[in-house]
Chain A
Amino acid sequence: MGGEYRHIGKATPRKDARAIVTGKAEYIDDMKLSGMLYGKVLRSPYPHARIKNIDTAKAEAYPGVKAVLTYKNAPGWMAGVPYHRPVLDSTVRFVGDAVALVAAETEETADEALELLEVEYEQLPAVYDMEEAARPGAPQLHERIPGNVFPRGFRSIGEKALQELVMGDVEKGFSEADIIEEATCAYENIPNPLPPEPPGVIATWEDPEHLTLYTASQSAPMNRNFAQPALGLVDIRVIGMQCGGSYGTKNANFIPMAHAAALAKAAGRPVKVYFSKEEHFNAYTLRLGSRIHARIGIKKDGTVTALQGEWFVDTGAVSEMAQVQVAVGLGETQLLIRCPNWNMQPTLVCTNRSPSGVVRGFGGQELNCALLPLITVVMEKADLDPVDFFKKNYMAPGAGFYWRDGIWRDYRGIDFSKAIDKGAEVFGWKDKWKGWNKPTVVNGAKRIGVGVGLHGNADIGEDESEANVKLSPDARAVVYSCVSESGMGERSALCKMAAEVLNLPLDRVNITPADTLVNPFEFGLVGSRGTYAVGSAVIEAAEDARRQLLELAAPVLGVKPEELDTKDGAIFAKNNPQKKIAWYKAMGIARTITGQGRFETDFSLCNCMIIFAEVEVDTETGKAELLRVVASTDCGQIIDPLVLEGQLHGSLGSAGIDTAIFEETVLDKDTGHIMNCNMIDYKWRTFADLPKFESIMLETPVESHRFKAIGVGEIAPAPGPGAVLMAINNAIGKRIMTYPATPDKILKALGRI
């Protein structure tokens, strides 16, 4: 680990470590701009209603109130893909939908003003089930989305964006199968990724053409990239604050941003919109609902010959960019299952509940978790060991896939069998696996079962990044990269890569704030693209700067640039290290050097994570307890072992593994209200309930990256739910096909209730 490198592969303190442990790290709610107002949102008590009348007079007259906006006077900005949701509308479509906005001198005044708004609603029929919503005669949510079914595709990811997965000949495939099974399975507990910090934005207009946003975002530049067209191409400067967790949810951040920007425009002052935890539960980014009716055919040896089905995807009241998640999900499922004959038809539907949106897993977790119970059935019929099945079917050199842009890619990454084998060995799979529906251990009423899940994503080289690296004569470097920090340590990782190229101590390398005004283009820190995509741009910029530096030094030292090297701010001849000068001697003291780097999309690689789970089920109470997890991956080259380990541990968080046991958003399908919208009723894993967790991080070099590394963080949670459900089924010897396997479902499966 890190043998040949100075920084790469070593555990080094995060650049922001001191700020975090001393409380100085600045999150959005720690910030106040002078003259800043507080924006609050009146939220709908109904799942579907038309606003018949709204009287704002009292609120407007209330001392301290500076702006009140309703659909009547709000800007006509539109959200969603394709645009279908006005920032404020005369119809509300879920409990918690925005009805009106108020900006006031204090939070309290804003809250009080909300109570003074008089609204008359005409309630409309609501629909909560995705298939019901797609049927003729269902209540209609959006004029622009007839039949509640979204048009397929999304132009920004390519004209041929993957809209369905059709290849080969499924009928022929089924005719070649030894075993064919059909089932309906669902992963529709719509859990909330629930970062600890609620979403928030501060907006301030410098003038009518220039908007500045301070944002708690995982991808500060995405706030600009997405909002700019929606806001009529005004100039938007985005500054990313320290972000208190995101897990995908705080990427584009459009709705809070639009609310803050609209209020700031109306009031002519900066406005902060910061959600309460209750709003966070009721009106911010749930996981997609996913349900499949599918048929799979396999040969006895585990070769999959055909997969056919319908995939229903429920995005709640709005599609933030669910079409892209559908495309990526269809792509990822081909990484999991190598099959020549597919016909998977997605239907993306809106329903009257709080919207789903971008979440770690991004469509792939949702599809694979829904498919896994079905795959389990055929594996069982063929009496196949699931580890062997996954190993046989996971993406490997020689195979390929259609990615989100609808274009075929020949896979040119590494073979992940080693990571699979190593995981199995550390877990003790061979001993613990007793066959399908067989517990590993029976101890009175308690039974232990084991399960395994696997997942990967070809997003590690998705989209474009640019970076600059500036060298100064005092032997320091600054990385210009518009990357915000929401927990993945990427800003520090980029500094490490630049420090490695320039052979500088790490404390001599810094990174600019995630500010779109000063940095070159960056797509955002989405998927697992930080290491390969963003990293490669930074590395190229550092190499370019280093080249320029050596060119400046060459005539001074009378040596050719290629015969020079640099270390710790000195430039020396490789064959005569005594012949050296300091950077400032080569550069002069009144100069900086800027190197440039750019990364172009590369979809030909993927990552992989396999999770083994051991679960104990109490057959009397129906309670399932996760005892042990082994997560295994191969990341090419570790950048920082502790940061990577943290990412793997993350499989227990952000609506991951526990969506198989207890995590769910409980929607009352009579009233449209979320029943567990607080942190006591919404269940989460505590320090007292930690399973034993082992991380395996192999390093098989990936040639595409200078340091042979690929990112892996995003996929950590995705293999978990399937593994746990399989373990529960094996423990109890019965089959549960939907998530989460709560005690009532377990007891029902056991015939006890």
Chain B
Amino acid sequence: MKTDRDKGKASRGVATAEKNISLTVNGKPYELMVGKDVNPDHTLAYTLRETLGYTGTKIACDHGSCGACTVLMDGEAVLSCTMLTVECDGKKITTIEGLENRETGGLHPLQQAFIDNTAFQCGFCTPGIIMSAKALLDKNPSPTEEDIKQELAGHYCRCVSHYLVVKAILSLAEKGR
């Protein structure tokens, strides 16, 4: 897989080990060749968006301080802009595109809860927030309001959808009880 960014790198002759990175994204396996598909300085966020086309993952700060790029890695919420793809060999990644039921195409209950509560305004922070919420609910199906707020503390939402987000997640937490 040749990407735009690779051309720039190749011209500078970055040293590349011939090594494959295996990634599973939303259940789909990818083999990425270092130096070809992935450069050593590519972040996971970059690879997901630019190389693999999972643009549902957003980048706002690109410096690990806003939560927009949150994805699940082996079930844990991580900031994909702070991880290098070359360090993610063998990892299972879930992005916002992976939440819908693969068979039925139906929405994940979290997605439905966000729709029902209009828990977004511009929606740019939303994929990251939903991924963190999923990690939380997977671990703790009935979190308290305080648990939710603490879990989401690293997510920047400038429109201030916080209250409706908490309400949306709580509506599921109550079902989990």
Report A's interface with B, CB cutoff 8 A: 11, 13-14, 16-18, 20-27, 29-30, 38, 63-64, 104-109, 112, 193-198, 242-247, 276-277, 485-489, 640, 642-643, 645-647, 649-654, 678-680, 684-688, 690, 693
Nearest-neighbor residue (CB-CB) of A104 within chain B: B8
B58 engages A196 (CB within 8 Å) = yes
Contact of A688 among B56, B60, B130, B153 (CB under 8 A): B153
Residues 1 to 15 of chain B near chain A (Cβ within 8 Å):
4-5, 7-9, 11-12
Given contacts A63-B11, A245-B159, contact A643 B122 (CB under 8 A): no
Measured in the bound complex, the distance between the Cα atoms of B166 and A348 in whole Å is: 43
Residues of the A chain whose Cβ atoms lie less than 8 Å from the Cβ of B11: 63-64, 109
Decide: B7 and A21 in contact? CB cutoff 8 A.
Answer: no
B162 located at the interface, meaning its Cβ lies under 8 Å from any Cβ of chain A in the complex: yes
A245-B122, A646-B121 are known contacts; what are 5 more A-B pairs with Cβ within 8 Å?
A: A18-B115, A23-B97, A23-B127, A25-B123, A196-B122
CB-nearest residue of chain A to B6? A106
- Say whether, besides A22-B99, A277-B63, A686-B153, A13 and B118 are in contact (CB < 8 Å): yes
Instruction: Please name all residues of chain A whose beta carbon is closer than 8 Å to the beta carbon of B8 when the two chains form the complex.
Output: 64, 104-109, 112
Q: In the complex, are the beta carbons of B122 and A653 less than 8 A apart?
A: no
**If the complex has contacts A13-B116, A29-B59, are A684 and B100 also in contact, measured as CB distance less than 8 A?**
no
Chain B residues with CB below 8 A from A687, complex form: 148-150, 152-153, 155, 157, 162, 165-166
B7–A244 touching, CB < 8 Å: no
0/1 string, B42-70, CB within 8 A of A gives 1 = 00000001000011111111110110100
B164 within 8 A of A: yes
Q: Check A649 against B127 for contact (C-beta < 8 Å).
A: no
Interface size on B, residues (CB 8 A): 60
Interface string of B99-110 (1 = CB under 8 A from A): 110000001000
Indicate whether A688 sits within 8 Å of B149 (C-beta atoms), given known contacts A245-B124, A646-B159. yes
Residues of B within 8 A of A276 (CB): 62
Judge whether A13 and B122 touch: CB under 8 Å.
no
Partner of B118 from the list A196, A242, A640, A678 (CB cut-off 8 Å) is A640
Which 8 pairs, one residue from A and one from B, show the smallest C-beta to C-beta distance?
A: A23-B56, A244-B124, A487-B121, A487-B122, A23-B96, A20-B123, A642-B118, A30-B55
Secondary structure at the A interface, as helix, strand, loop or mixed, is loop
Q: With A and B bound together, what is the CA distance between A277 and B69 in angstroms?
A: 14
Inter-chain contact A684/B158, CB cutoff 8 Å: yes
Give chain B residues whose Cβ lies under 8 Å from the Cβ of A277.
60-63
Give the docked Cα–Cα distance between A198 and B59 (Å): 9
B125 nearest in chain A by CB position: A196
* Measured CA separation A257–B65 after assembly (Å): 28
> Is B75 at the interface (CB under 8 A from chain A)?
no
> Are A653 and B160 in contact, with the CB atoms below 8 A?
yes
Contact of A680 with B159 at beta-carbon distance under 8 Å, contacts A21-B130, A23-B56, A23-B97 already known = no
Residues in chain B near residue A680, CB distance under 8 A:
63, 65
Q: Which of B115-167 contact A (CB under 8 A)?
A: 115-118, 120-127, 130, 148-150, 152-166
* Chain A residues within an 8 Å CB radius of B122: 195-197, 242-246, 485-487
Knowing A196-B122, A646-B164, the reply to whether A24 touches B56 (Cβ < 8 A) is yes
